Chain A
Amino acid sequence: MHELTQQIVSGLATGSIYASVALALVLIYRAMGIINFAQGEMAMFSTYIAWQLVQFGVPVWLAFGATLIIAFAGGVAIERIVIRPVERANQLTLVIVSLGLFIALNGLAGWIWGYIVKSPPPPFPPTAITVGGVAFSAQDVGIIAVSLVTLGLISLFFQKTKLGLAMRAAALYPEQSRVLGIRVGWMLALGWGLAAVVGATAGIMIAPVVFLDPNMMQSIIVYAFAAAVLGGIESPIGAVVGGLILGVAINLLGTYVEAIGNELRLAAALAIIVLVLVVRPSGLFGKPSVQRV
């Protein structure tokens, strides 16, 4: 029983990482209808920046804060420079451009920092927290706490601030927003910045677990896709719930179902993606979209 509880908590920890990356995907998808294949690589790159700052002697948490600011600027810059020119192009172009971004960031990280796996500074002490006789790792609890705070802040920002409202308006009704004086282009860029920040938080939190190398996010992005699809690719709440469900489910399947084990976890995520898309493409929380022909 204790072991099961531990496995669930550790599933929630990885699940909250999937949730964060999935939320970053959803933010961009809602705003522009783009699946950002480079989301994981943006997070990976930010994590390297955090690692580099710590290497320079910056205190750990200060380095993380600075990284988030850099990530935000990077996200805005990517939207302005790379995405803007192809914004109105067809799906194939958008997929290829975001893949180009994926490959370029991956290669750039390898170029600057090399392909040797690094062990990044853990943001949380390697101790255990005991609740009711069950020991949880401080890392898991910390990851869950930080992710929930981040997600909460994002939600507050979109619900309670004027800027958040403007960004939602720009995403849903670009023409009308423009008439009302909202600078739609910049709102979309801000959305990329925010998505980059959410992704960077996830990258920094998970790096001590998966270790730091240019391919660290490759399977995490697949889990995040699965989470976003499961929750409904247009639903922020869906992304979070989907991520948490997926984290726990994959962890339990991998631990207790012999046939899946460690290696077929990715295959399980693939199966979820395909199954949801075939059976219920709108996911758990999305509204089925109807198109007039």
Chain B
Amino acid sequence: MIRVCVVAALIAVLPWIVPSFVVFDLIFVAAYAIAILGLVILTGMNGQISLGHGAFMALGGYVVAVLAHAAGWPYWAGVPIAALACGAFGLLIGLVALRLAGVYLALATFSLAVATPSFLKHYKSITGGFGGMSLQPVTVPAGIPLDPQRWLYYAAWAVAGLAFLVSALIVRGKFGRALRALRDNPVAAVSFGVNPYVYKTLAFGWSAVLAGVAGAFYAIPTAFVSPDTFSFALSITLLIGAVLGGIWTFWGALLGGVVVEFLPLVAQQVNAGAPSVVYGVALILVMMFVPDGIAGGLVQLARRIAPRPAPPPSAEPSPIATSAPLGAIGGGISDPKP
């Protein structure tokens, strides 16, 4: 709780101490964090591997853009619609995903991510095709003494805070236990009366809602969307953020968002290919040595510096660190009949 308050306070004061272009970057950190949170819930907690969350972000971004462009809606009014549309699409994909175990789901969502830009290019009359479409620039509501950039910053982080809060409430109780049980031992979970169809589909739906909202906030700052905004690389970026940040905890989503926004900015100065090389090597090394990502690594570090008598019960053991049986994550049974 103390950590949450400290981070919230930090987020509140940051736009007044960092330069303006960093504030702009931090809006994207919020968008990334929301989307990666969706992956933490879906892939980390429920074991459904999605390599195609960029597709949901694309849907979210384009819903906002199309509503603004064609129907003249203000940018903020499109956000809830984007969430709803992505939730519906996510439930649909979730139903299909029930039939695809483990690595097959990864394969199908990978293909979805690669195919997404071609969908956007094809349906030109709605999406504006190759050239994309622009939104109205962000305006500040009357009576709020902020410049547009800081206003958008606070709006994005308020939504991110809400997303984290609601997600925490959702996964805290029965729902979260069911998700983890279905990940770790589907057979046992089902025999304890957990309905895999309901929980796995709902997890996909909620995860897609988060990605959709993130997509909206990914499009609004630049007031522009195009097929290249939501390229295959975006989907991969989200997974990178989740893995490097820490795919087993919500903190991982926040750290992951920071990493994927700022690491390329630094690495790009070396070479255009450098961010990818760093990412790729980091992914492999993290999986080999610190499967809990930065969040898990920090916890371990903290424990080593200040050892506690008993580890906090909230610390979730990662299925990789413990000797999980081969294929524990979704690889076992695709279609357990209750």
Chain A residues near B (Cβ < 8 Å): 33-35, 37, 82, 85-86, 88-97, 99-112, 114-115, 214, 218-219, 221-222, 225-226, 229, 261, 263-267, 269-270, 273-274, 277-278, 281, 291, 293
Contact between chains at A90 and B326 (CB < 8 Å) = yes
Complex Cα gap A206–B316 (Å) = 47
Contact between chains at A100 and B115 (CB < 8 Å) = no
Contact between chains at A93 and B291 (CB < 8 Å) = yes
Interface residues of B in 92-137 (CB under 8 A from A): 96, 99-100, 102-104, 106-108, 110-112, 114-115, 118-119, 121-122
Q: CB-defined interface of B275-296 with A at 8 Å, one 1/0 digit per residue?
A: 1111111111001100100000
Residues of B within 8 A of A99 (CB): 51, 236, 239, 283
Inter-chain CB contacts under 8 Å: number: 170
Contact between chains at B320 and A89 (CB < 8 Å) = yes
**Distance between A216 CB and nearest chain B CB, rounded to angstroms:** 13
Contact between chains at A277 and B108 (CB < 8 Å) = yes
Query: For residue B52, which residue of chain A has the nearest CB?
Result: A270
Complex Cα gap A104–B276 (Å) = 6
Asked if B70 is at the interface of the complex by the 8 Å CB criterion, the answer is no
Contact between chains at B102 and A91 (CB < 8 Å) = yes
Most buried by A among B107, B108, B275: B107
**Distance between B74 CB and nearest chain A CB, rounded to angstroms:** 32
Which 3 pairs show the lowest CB-CB distances between chains A and B?
A107-B276, A104-B280, A100-B283
Contact between chains at B331 and A90 (CB < 8 Å) = yes
Asked if B61 is at the interface of the complex by the 8 Å CB criterion, the answer is no
Ordered by A's residue number, 22 sampled pairs between the chains whose C-beta atoms are within 8 Å are: A90-B328, A91-B103, A91-B327, A93-B320, A95-B49, A95-B51, A96-B287, A100-B281, A107-B280, A108-B276, A110-B271, A110-B273, A112-B273, A114-B272, A221-B114, A226-B111, A263-B121, A266-B118, A267-B115, A270-B111, A270-B112, A281-B334
Interface residues of B in 15-38 (CB under 8 A from A): none
**Distance between A269 CB and nearest chain B CB, rounded to angstroms:** 7
**Distance between A124 CB and nearest chain B CB, rounded to angstroms:** 28
Contact between chains at A86 and B121 (CB < 8 Å) = no
Residues of A within 8 A of B115 (CB): 222, 266-267, 269-270
Q: Beyond the given A90-B329, A104-B284, A226-B111, could you list 10 further A-B residue pairs with CB under 8 A, ordered by the A residue number?
A: A37-B110, A85-B288, A90-B320, A96-B283, A99-B239, A104-B283, A111-B272, A265-B118, A278-B96, A278-B99
Asked if B59 is at the interface of the complex by the 8 Å CB criterion, the answer is no
Chain B residues near A (Cβ < 8 Å): 43, 47, 49, 51, 96, 99-100, 102-104, 106-108, 110-112, 114-115, 118-119, 121-122, 187, 232, 236, 239-240, 243, 271-284, 287-288, 291, 319-320, 324-334, 336
Partner pick for A92 among B47, B114, B240, CB 8 A cutoff: B47
Most buried by B among A88, A91, A104, A265: A91
Contact between chains at B232 and A218 (CB < 8 Å) = yes
Residues of B within 8 A of A274 (CB): 96, 100, 108
Query: For residue B275, which residue of chain A has the nearest CB?
Result: A107
Complex Cα gap A90–B114 (Å) = 25
Query: For residue A228, which residue of chain B has the nearest CB?
Result: B107
Contact between chains at B236 and A225 (CB < 8 Å) = no
Contact between chains at A111 and B273 (CB < 8 Å) = yes
**Distance between B167 CB and nearest chain A CB, rounded to angstroms:** 20
Residues of B within 8 A of A114 (CB): 272
Query: For residue A37, which residue of chain B has the nearest CB?
Result: B110
**Distance between B106 CB and nearest chain A CB, rounded to angstroms:** 5
Residues of A within 8 A of B330 (CB): 91-92
Complex Cα gap A277–B100 (Å) = 7
Contact between chains at B107 and A273 (CB < 8 Å) = yes
Contact between chains at B327 and A267 (CB < 8 Å) = no
Most buried by A among B96, B288, B319: B288
Residues of B within 8 A of A94 (CB): 103
Complex Cα gap A97–B277 (Å) = 13
Query: For residue A95, which residue of chain B has the nearest CB?
Result: B106
Contact between chains at A269 and B277 (CB < 8 Å) = no
Partner pick for A89 among B100, B278, B287, CB 8 A cutoff: B287
Residues of B within 8 A of A291 (CB): 332-333
Query: For residue A259, which residue of chain B has the nearest CB?
Result: B122
Complex Cα gap A270–B113 (Å) = 10
**Distance between A145 CB and nearest chain B CB, rounded to angstroms:** 29
Partner pick for A103 among B106, B236, B287, B325, CB 8 A cutoff: B236
Contact between chains at A293 and B333 (CB < 8 Å) = yes
**Distance between B319 CB and nearest chain A CB, rounded to angstroms:** 7
Contact between chains at A107 and B274 (CB < 8 Å) = yes
Complex Cα gap A274–B275 (Å) = 32
Query: For residue B334, which residue of chain A has the nearest CB?
Result: A281
**Distance between B111 CB and nearest chain A CB, rounded to angstroms:** 5
Complex Cα gap A105–B279 (Å) = 11
Residues of B within 8 A of A269 (CB): 111, 115
Contact between chains at A222 and B111 (CB < 8 Å) = yes
With A85-B288, A102-B280, A107-B277 as contacts: A219 and B324 at CB distance below 8 Å: no
Query: For residue B289, which residue of chain A has the nearest CB?
Result: A85
**Distance between A204 CB and nearest chain B CB, rounded to angstroms:** 22
